[in-house]
Amino acid sequence: MKRNGWLLVIISLLAIACGPVTKKQFIAEHEHFVAQVAVDYENYDEDDWEEKNDRMKENWEEVYPEIEDEMSMEEKTELTADAVRYYLYQYRDQTLHMIDQADERHLEILKENMQIATEAGVDFVDEMLPYFEEMLPEFEALAKKLEKQFNSKDFQRQLEKSLDKLKDRLEEMEDIEIED
């Protein structure tokens, strides 16, 4: 009889553990996952990234839709920022490599389009300003979280490396003369 009691306790605990993920559990797990990637990403090989991508896909395609309606705009924004950070870590080297491999014509096109993008950006901001003002509290909360993450020593070290590479590339772009 005592054996059946323990069996019931074990089955109950397993049922609780296998139950649906709560919003709080999902957010904590996702933040931990991205933080771990931020620490270890330089050591990942293709198989590691495939495993991490499978986990991201499962989180965003299976778990997130189940709890999305329970989340505030701030929580959604924070999760999205973490997802962007994840992909920045994954594709940072490929992006820098592509920039390094661009020939002069690609750099000329980029310089020409920077002006267009700047002008379009100003128009976009003018139209979107009322919406941004509505979302100001969420943006402020996100800014505080990002500031905390940006002030971490690991992020500062990585940012410094990336900015040095970008600075070198921009200096190379300035040396290119655009033919009319």
Domain ranges of the chain: 22-101+135-174
Other C-beta atoms lying within 10 Å of the C-beta of residue 87: 13
Comparison of pLDDT for 29 and 111, the residue scoring more: 29
Tokens of 117: 């993008």
pLDDT digits (tens, 9 = 90+) for 80-89: 888 888 888 8
pLDDT digits (tens, 9 = 90+) for 65-115: 999 899 888 888 888 888 888 888 888 766 666 666 666 666 677 677 776
Tokens of 78: 């924070």
| CA distance linking residue 23 with residue 20, whole number of Å | 10
Average the pLDDT over 126-138 and give the result: 68
Q: Kindly report the three-state secondary structure assignment for every residue of 14-52.
A: HHHHCCCCCHHHHHHHHHHHHHHHHHHHHHCCHHHHHHH
- Which of the given ranges, 50-54, 115-119, 149-153, has the highest pLDDT on average? 50-54
List, in order, residues 6 or more apart from 21 with CB less than 8 Å away.
29, 63, 66, 67
